[in-house]
Chain A
Amino acid sequence: MPEMLKTQHKAALQTKTETISGAEAVMRAVIGEGIDTIFGYPGGAIMPVYDALYDYTEQVNHILVRHEQGAVHAAQGYARASGKVAVVLATSGPGATNLITGLADAQIDSTPLVCITGQVPSHLLGTDAFQESDVISLTMPVTKWNYQITDPAEIPEVLSKAFFIARTGRPGPVLVDITKDCQLKSFDFQGYQKCNKVRSYRPKPIIRKQYIEEAAKLINKAKKPFVVWGQGVILGGAESELTEMVEKAGIPAAWTIMGASAIPTDHELNVGMVGMHGNYAPNKLTNECDVFIAIGMRFDDRVTGSLAHYAKQAQIIHFDIDPAEFDKNVKVDVPIWGDCKETIPMLTELLEAKEHPAWLDTFNKLKEEEVNTVIEKEIHPKEGKITMGEVVELVNQVDQGQSIITTDVGQHQMVTFRYAAFSKSRSKITSGGLGTMGFSLPAAIGAKVAVPEREVISISGDGGFQMCIQELGTIMQQKIPVKILILNNHYLGMVRQWQELFHDNRYSFVNIDSPDYVMVAKGYGIPGQSVSERADLRAAIEEMMATEGPYLLEVHVGKEDNVFPFVPPGASVSDIRLK
């Protein structure tokens, strides 16, 4: 070998192998995955990674939260608004255990996260060391995959596997626990390679065409076809594929809470939300359709009500990427297993162009009934206290359905999903499956960081807002311009509503006091105001939306307003009550 080539070869070898610490390898993985944001909180056992992060502040924006739960929810907001994997850093022990609610939330709502936790040094594992907790066992049921690393040489491979597992197939949270000694120890780094295959894991199958043909036959013959889509459509990025399909075949389409915003609310085939507090028509007509096409949804009990009386008359076609969802709750006639981005167009191709005017009209007639009995007085009340619905309706008018809205759980959530208008996908971020109070504010932070060009409004009740109120500190320090809207009814409203309806008005511990939110916000340098009069409401919302930075608006709404329509627990969806 000529001398010059030898030197070049040697140089190549040198760049190939490099001695770095485990902590540095974590950062190389983060950079290798194209991650530009980390949500986290430092502590003893994760300090080496934070030390490595100190050299990467140009490439990576670290958002210092006020509680690790805030970090996971912010990461969820980030992932849900952007479709990218979000990264969380936390320390061992309480740092890691504080992640658990968010992990459970991300697991049930299929949100791609990679959480990296520090762990006590490996020689202390199992000794009840300071800030030691068995994070792997604790997080096993709430993660798609988790792994503990004690050897730094494993870091690149395990993290690339973690990112791959989190984002592919049915997405979900992954946790990697790294002992402190492993973060500190040096090893020969061979470069970071992104993972594209795990032997025992099949993110998606080869699509079986015969099922798609069978589905097309059913739909082409159907007189009353009905689509219900869920978050799978958004996770698969199949919004336009779905729209094209329902438009071609003229199928009325409804959505689960997690599927909201995949098709704009003003689309004529968008017939509203299904479920316990969903719209009247799609719930009623679930039990009248002849072919029920479920797409990327999982027949949650809040969607189906009594399974014994759920779409029994219909042939069921179910699209899902997770085969464990088939027959889990509802017996399926035609399972279409695969990525809906691929399967929906395959179906559309086989569908006859059709319209179902009489069938669609049935929806519109029932909608009219709902408008007259419930919606009109909720969103345009003439007297009495401000209603939650009119606040949401005014937000629609001011922002024209352009904002991303995050919510907590309860009455304000149901009202927001019922009345908020959306024109873009990934505009609705809520804790759908787990129902986590306190989700909204940190999720809004994450969403705003992910998509800074869009307005983000966090809507919560007075109960949920007080559960992660500490994240006002994050908003203050990072100057995150989110809008905070608190619908204060001075009660834990949804529980109160159930106590009224099912527990004989026995209001057991639902009476909750609030601090002066405007003053609290002021303490954090966030401007705001509180409104109780209808006459002041529009101007207040306009001011909130016009303010450049963060803003807090508290609206005092009717104390004992109930959310209707309502499918009582255990009842059939077609027994939905308008009052």
Chain B
Amino acid sequence: MKEYTLSIYTEDTVGLLNRIAAMFTRRKINIESLNTSPTEVEGIHRFTILINSSEEQVKKLAFQLEKQVDVLKAYYNTNEEIIWQEMALYKVPTQVIAEKVQVERLLRAHGARVVVIRHDYIIFEKTGQREETTKLTEILEPFGLIEFVRSGRIAIIKASNGFHEKLLDFEQTASPNGH
């Protein structure tokens, strides 16, 4: 078992999230994180899904995902094959920051950025990999961390040339897929 990131290129249709999620449910695979976003190609959507899986399982899953009518292509990659990031937001009491200078130092050392300052709380943002954002949570906890939220993983495949060419390929009638 290891971490795999699935990058799924799809049409932009209502309910497709359901159809994709059901493929995981049916196989009792837990989705660690999921993100949907537009792509460099207008009208094409991209799901980025993180799971823990064996290679055999993720490979079969990618085939099954691609079989769905509204899915154009499903790639799966190990962490070594991608550049990936997650974003986290932290809400911390303003008073603590004001009183304890070390908190501010910590935040700086971790590359966190201030998003909002209010009289009662401050919101910091940090983008990075999971261990980094988790680490900062642990550090802030003793200082009264009020709220924490982390986004799904987004990833770019190192070896990818994007989707423009692939789409042209799809727009021609029958053409071999990339297997």
Q: Tell whether A9 is near chain B: CB-to-CB under 8 Å.
A: no
Instruction: Report how far A148 CA is from B60 CA in the complex, Å.
Output: 29
Contact indicator A323/B177 (Cβ below 8 Å): yes
Given the interface pairs A148-B14, A200-B11, the reply to whether A324 lies near B67 with Cβ below 8 Å is yes
Query: What residue in chain A is nearest B21 (Cβ atoms)?
Result: A140
Q: Tell whether A577 is near chain B: CB-to-CB under 8 Å.
A: no
List, in ascending order, chain B residues with CB within 8 A of A144's CB.
69
Instruction: For residue B16, give the distance in angstroms from its CB to the closest CB of chain A.
Output: 10
List, in ascending order, chain A residues with CB within 8 A of B171's CB.
199
Q: Which of B1-30 contact A (CB under 8 A)?
A: 10-11, 14-15, 18-19, 22, 26
**Binding stretch for chain B, among A65-73, A85-93, A202-210, A467-475:** A202-210
Q: Tell whether B70 is near chain A: CB-to-CB under 8 Å.
A: yes
Given the interface pairs A141-B26, A200-B71, the reply to whether A206 lies near B18 with Cβ below 8 Å is no
Query: What residue in chain B is nearest A141 (Cβ atoms)?
Result: B22
Q: Which of A116-148 contact B (CB under 8 A)?
A: 136-137, 140-141, 144-146, 148
For the A-B complex with A141-B26, A327-B60 known, give 7 more contacts whose Cβ atoms are closer than 8 Å.
A137-B18, A140-B22, A141-B22, A202-B174, A205-B175, A206-B175, A324-B63
Q: Count of A residues near B, CB < 8 Å?
A: 26
Pick from B15, B59, B69, B179: contact of A136, CB under 8 Å: B15
Contact indicator A200/B63 (Cβ below 8 Å): no
Q: Tell whether A322 is near chain B: CB-to-CB under 8 Å.
A: yes
Instruction: For residue A127, give the distance in angstroms from its CB to the closest CB of chain B.
Output: 18
Contact indicator B67/A322 (Cβ below 8 Å): yes
Q: Tell whether B129 is near chain A: CB-to-CB under 8 Å.
A: no
Q: Tell whether A165 is near chain B: CB-to-CB under 8 Å.
A: yes
Contact indicator B71/A205 (Cβ below 8 Å): no
Instruction: For residue A307, give the distance in angstroms from its CB to the closest CB of chain B.
Output: 13
Contact indicator A208/B176 (Cβ below 8 Å): yes
Contact indicator B170/A323 (Cβ below 8 Å): no
Q: Tell whether A509 is near chain B: CB-to-CB under 8 Å.
A: no
Contact indicator A205/B176 (Cβ below 8 Å): yes
Pick from B15, B69, B71: contact of A165, CB under 8 Å: B69
Q: How does the 8 Å CB contact mask read for B165-179 relative to A, with 1 for contact and 0 for none? A: 000001101111101
Q: Tell whether A5 is near chain B: CB-to-CB under 8 Å.
A: no
Given the interface pairs A140-B15, A140-B18, the reply to whether A199 lies near B173 with Cβ below 8 Å is no
Pick from B15, B59, B64, B69: contact of A137, CB under 8 Å: B15
Instruction: Report how far A137 CA is from B60 CA in the complex, Å.
Output: 23
Instruction: For residue A301, give the distance in angstroms from its CB to the closest CB of chain B.
Output: 15
Q: Tell whether A365 is near chain B: CB-to-CB under 8 Å.
A: no
Q: Tell whether B50 is near chain A: CB-to-CB under 8 Å.
A: no
Query: What residue in chain B is nearest A198 (Cβ atoms)?
Result: B69
Instruction: For residue A100, give the distance in angstroms from its CB to the closest CB of chain B.
Output: 14
Instruction: Report how far A146 CA is from B14 CA in the complex, Å.
Output: 11
Contact indicator A328/B174 (Cβ below 8 Å): no
Q: How does the 8 Å CB contact mask read for A180-201 relative to B, with 1 for contact and 0 for none? A: 0000000000000000011111
List, in ascending order, chain A residues with CB within 8 A of B69's CB.
144-145, 165, 198, 200-201
Residue from A145, A165, A198, A199 whose CB has the most chain B CB atoms within 10 Å: A199
Instruction: Report how far A312 CA is from B15 CA in the complex, Å.
Output: 42
Query: What residue in chain B is nearest A325 (Cβ atoms)?
Result: B63
Q: Which of B70-111 contact A (CB under 8 A)?
A: 70-72
List, in ascending order, chain B residues with CB within 8 A of A324's CB.
60, 63-64, 66-67
Query: What residue in chain A is nearest B26 (Cβ atoms)?
Result: A141
Instruction: For residue A578, give the distance in angstroms from its CB to the closest CB of chain B.
Output: 36
List, in ascending order, chain A residues with CB within 8 A of B26's CB.
141
Instruction: Report how far A148 CA is from B171 CA in the complex, Å.
Output: 25
List, in ascending order, chain B residues with CB within 8 A of A200's CB.
10-11, 69-72, 170
Instruction: For residue A414, give the distance in angstroms from its CB to the closest CB of chain B.
Output: 28
Instruction: Report how far A204 CA is from B173 CA in the complex, Å.
Output: 10
List, in ascending order, chain B residues with CB within 8 A of A203's CB.
174
Instruction: Report how far A327 CA is from B63 CA in the complex, Å.
Output: 10
Instruction: Report how far A200 CA is from B16 CA in the complex, Å.
Output: 13
Instruction: Report how far A165 CA is from B18 CA in the complex, Å.
Output: 19
Query: What residue in chain B is nearest A170 (Cβ atoms)?
Result: B67
Residue from A136, A144, A202, A322 whose CB has the most chain B CB atoms within 10 Å: A202
Query: What residue in chain B is nearest A165 (Cβ atoms)?
Result: B69
The 26 listed contacts between A and B (C-beta, < 8 Å) are A136-B15, A137-B18, A144-B69, A145-B69, A146-B15, A148-B15, A165-B69, A199-B72, A200-B11, A200-B170, A202-B175, A204-B174, A205-B174, A205-B176, A205-B177, A206-B174, A206-B176, A323-B63, A323-B67, A323-B177, A323-B179, A324-B60, A324-B63, A324-B67, A326-B63, A327-B60
List, in ascending order, chain A residues with CB within 8 A of B70's CB.
145, 200-201
Q: Which of A193-229 contact B (CB under 8 A)?
A: 197-206, 208
Q: How does the 8 Å CB contact mask read for A460-504 relative to B, with 1 for contact and 0 for none? A: 000000000000000000000000000000000000000000000
